[in-house]
């Protein structure tokens, strides 16, 4: 009975941290990823799948301060994923990436001209 309770306690702790830590670390990006649908095997004999996704988003718009200036925007995102399959019906999926954006407006007081997100 004690072993059953300890296993249940461990499972509850793991689920708690799996739900809590991403929220504290802001680990989920706002842009959706479609990597899970495009996993490719490394080799037919190796149980590892992988995928990489990259996006660039340059742009130009009129300045919010006046009608003569233009604001240059530059954004991008790169994501990578690995899927390890073992014991026929278990797998471990890992996905992460880097996202950034920059604007040419000089907003030095607020620091809102640049953003980076891991």
Classify residue 75 by burial, with Cβ atoms within 10 Å: 0-12, 13-18, 19+: middle
Confidence of residue 77 (pLDDT cuts 50, 70, 90): confident
Q: Is the pLDDT reported for residue 12 higher than 80?
A: yes
Distance (Å, rounded) from C-alpha 3 to C-alpha 78?
Answer: 44
In angstroms, the CA 37 to CA 53 distance is: 11
Q: Taking the model in full, what pTM does it have?
A: 0.55
64/41: higher pLDDT: 41
Residues 11, 4 contacting (CB under 8 angstroms): no
In angstroms, the CA 15 to CA 88 distance is 23
pLDDT at 29 over 60: no
What residue ranges do the domains of the chain occupy? 1-28, 31-117
pLDDT at 25: 55
What is the radius of gyration, based on Cα positions, of the chain? 21
Residue 35 reports pLDDT greater than 60: yes
CA distance 4 to 11: 11
Q: How far apart are CA 81 and CA 66, in angstroms?
A: 43
Instruction: Name the token pair of 6.
Output: 């300890």
């Amino acid at each position: 009975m004690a072993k059953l309770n300890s296993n249940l306690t461990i499972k509850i702790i793991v689920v708690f941290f799996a739900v809590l830590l991403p929220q504290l670390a802001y680990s989920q990006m706002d842009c959706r990823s479609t990597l899970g649908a495009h996993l490719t095997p490394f080799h037919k004999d190796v149980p590892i799948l992988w995928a990489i996704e990259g996006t660039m988003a340059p742009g130009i718009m009129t300045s919010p301060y006046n009608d003569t200036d233009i604001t240059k925007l530059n954004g991008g995102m790169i994501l990578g994923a690995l899927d390890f399959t073992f014991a026929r019906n278990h797998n471990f999926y890992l996905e992460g990436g880097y996202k950034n954006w920059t604007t040419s407006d000089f907003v030095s007081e607020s620091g809102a001209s640049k953003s980076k997100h891991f």
